[in-house]
A and B are shown apart, each in its own frame.
Chain A
């Protein structure tokens, strides 16, 4: 028996049995099968397999259909309409904004009077040494004891509000920070710088000895 080289036609033999080929294709396949012993044998094998269908029980259609819920009962769980999804998102977004906004408002109201990092200074807030900085500047809150110049928050006062992240500092760190800030030349000097008089007769070499 000659080996068939028409792979394309061989692949269509099951379709020939199922009558799913177009008329012209079917005619072409049938013409080939008439002249090809191998394809005739294969077609006979396929017919045998098709006719020898294995046992399968008869399905009770009504019983199956009774187990299928109506589409309207399935839809809410499977396929919700787009409008319902949009409304759900809007409600969720609104609730989210309300929670965040309300929370921020509560925190803001709670934090203002009790903010440990906000130090309010009554005037005069700072006293600047009048002579060459020989005396340390007195800055409100620089000592461990509350200064008399420090008061609760009041309107129309100058506030030295530190950044919120210093709230975690210890008392010692805060004291050090305030001491360092006291040494800043943050306020304009109201008096002239002290004048240093130099004695021209002073001998550096003698001094070094």
Chain B
């Protein structure tokens, strides 16, 4: 919490980034392909949600709610396409995450690893909560939530976010 307070900054100090078209389109495709492929060889990779991490990364880097919303929706729909659930389940969850992450990105410095870790942890929890709500309330599915497993997955995704965001920083272009 202390770290968050220290890194709180005004809008003027916040830098806005953009990404080239090949990165904006190719990166989600590559990461989604990795997410689909890696569990074939390493089944525990199933806990990582690269789509979510990428949604958060794009949202906090661009710092635009409009862009965050649309990016989240697009990545969510892409993820829906790979499952057998109807389109919209991951889409709705990631749309909200994209909007939320970009809203927070306007107010918080998200360049340090601590805030990135907390951001990923928080938004993983939000994503799962929305996902379960959609599955249960809209789809009528009986989803079992294992809180211990979800906490572990949130932790794993947060650690991954720190490294992945550092790697993805290379693709940023200062606006």
Q: State yes or no: do A and B come from one complex.
A: no
Binding site for B on A (CB under 8 A): none
